[in-house]
Structure 1
Amino acid sequence: MDAGSMNSSSNFKSHSRGPLQEQFIQRKTSRENLDRFIPNRSAMDMGYAQSMLTESRKGKENPAISSPSRDAYQRKLAEALNMNRTRILAFKNKPPAPVDLYPKDFFSSQTQDKPSKPRRHIPQTSERTLDAPDLVDDYYLNLLDWGSANVLAIALGNTVYLWDASTGSTSELETFDDETGPVTSVSWAPDGRHIAIGLNNSEVQLWDSTANKQLRTLRGCHSSRVGSLAWNNNILTTGGMDGCIVNNDVRVRSHIVETYRGHEQEVCGLKWSASGQQLASGGNDNLLHIWDRSVASSQTTTQWLHRLEDHTAAVKALAWCPFQSNLLASGGGGGDRCIKFWNTHTGACLNSVDTGSQVCSLLWNKNERELLSSHGFTQNQLTLWKYPSMVKMGELNGHTSRVLYMAQSPDGCTVASAAGDETLRFWNVFGVPEVAKPAPKAQSEPFAHLNRIR
Structure 2
Amino acid sequence: MDAGSWNSSVNLKDQSRCPLQEQFMQRKNARENLDRFIPNRSAMDFDYAHYMLTEGRKGKENPTSNSPSREAYRKRLAETFNMNRTRILAFKNKPPVPVESFPREFSSSLNHDKPTKSRRNIPQTSERTLDAPHLVDDYYLNLLDWGSCNVLAIALGNTVYLWDASNGSTSELVSIDEEDGPITSVNWAPDGRHIAIGLNNSEVQLWDSTANRQLRTLRGGHRSRVGSLAWNNHILTTGGMDGMIINNDVRIREHIVETYRGHEQEVCGLKWSSSGQQLASGGNDNLLHIWDRSMASSNSATQWLHRLEDHISAVKALAWCPFQSNLLASGGGGGDRCIKFWNTHTGACLNSVDTGSQVCALLWNKNERELLSSHGFTQNQLTLWKYPSMVKMAELNGHTSRVLFMAQSPDGCTVASAAADETLRFWNVFGVPEVAKPAPKSNPEPFAHVNRIR
For the residues of structure 2 that align with 1:281 and 1:126, how far apart are their CA atoms? 31
In the other structure, the counterpart of 1:102 is 101
Q: Per-residue displacement from partner, 1:402-439 (whole Å, max 9, x unpaired)?
A: 000000000000000000000000000000013349xx
Quick check: 1:256–1:299 contact (8 Å CA) kept in 2?
no
* Equivalent position amino acid for 1:104 in 2: P
Query: Which structure 1 residue ranges, 5 or more long, are not aligned?
Result: 1-17, 24-41, 43-91, 438-454
1:102-181 correspondence to structure 2 within 5 Å: 102-105=101-104, 115-181=115-181
In the other structure, the counterpart of 2:382 is 382
Over 3 Å counting, the alpha-carbon distance change for 1:392 and 1:257 in structure 2 is same
1:84-95 correspondence to structure 2 within 5 Å: none
For the residues of structure 1 that align with 2:180 and 2:25, how far apart are their CA atoms? 99
Q: Percent identity?
A: 85
In the other structure, the counterpart of 1:401 is 401
Q: Per-residue displacement from partner, 1:335-384 (whole Å, max 9, x unpaired)?
A: 00000000000000000000000000000000000000000011000000
Query: Which structure 2 residue ranges, 5 or more long, are not aligned?
Result: 1-23, 30-39, 41-91, 438-454
Over 3 Å counting, the alpha-carbon distance change for 1:349 and 1:178 in structure 2 is same
Over 3 Å counting, the alpha-carbon distance change for 1:240 and 1:101 in structure 2 is same
For the residues of structure 2 that align with 1:299 and 1:194, how far apart are their CA atoms? 29
In the other structure, the counterpart of 1:288 is 288
For the residues of structure 1 that align with 2:219 and 2:210, how far apart are their CA atoms? 24
For the residues of structure 2 that align with 1:367 and 1:116, how far apart are their CA atoms? 18
Note the C-alpha offset of 1:297: 1.2
For the residues of structure 1 that align with 2:112 and 2:351, how far apart are their CA atoms? 34
In the other structure, the counterpart of 2:16 is none
1:22-421 correspondence to structure 2 within 5 Å: 100=99, 102-105=101-104, 115-421=115-421
Q: Per-residue displacement from partner, 1:255-296 (whole Å, max 9, x unpaired)?
A: 000000000000000000000000000000000000001111
Over 3 Å counting, the alpha-carbon distance change for 1:353 and 1:99 in structure 2 is closer
Over 3 Å counting, the alpha-carbon distance change for 1:389 and 1:268 in structure 2 is same
* Equivalent position amino acid for 1:275 in 2: S
* Equivalent position amino acid for 2:128 in 1: R
Over 3 Å counting, the alpha-carbon distance change for 1:111 and 1:127 in structure 2 is closer
In the other structure, the counterpart of 2:435 is 435
Q: Is the partner of 1:435 in helix, strand or coil?
A: helix
Over 3 Å counting, the alpha-carbon distance change for 1:113 and 1:277 in structure 2 is farther
Note the C-alpha offset of 1:116: 3.6
Over 3 Å counting, the alpha-carbon distance change for 1:226 and 1:434 in structure 2 is same
For the residues of structure 1 that align with 2:283 and 2:270, how far apart are their CA atoms? 9
95-104 vs 261-270, which moves further: 95-104
Over 3 Å counting, the alpha-carbon distance change for 1:169 and 1:110 in structure 2 is closer
Give the TM-score normalised by the residue count of structure 2: 0.74
Note the C-alpha offset of 1:100: 4.5
Q: How many residues align?
A: 366
* Equivalent position amino acid for 1:192 in 2: G
For the residues of structure 2 that align with 1:109 and 1:336, how far apart are their CA atoms? 53
* Equivalent position amino acid for 1:241 in 2: M
Give the TM-score normalised by the residue count of structure 1: 0.74
For the residues of structure 2 that align with 1:96 and 1:311, how far apart are their CA atoms? 71
Q: Is the partner of 1:430 in helix, strand or coil?
A: coil
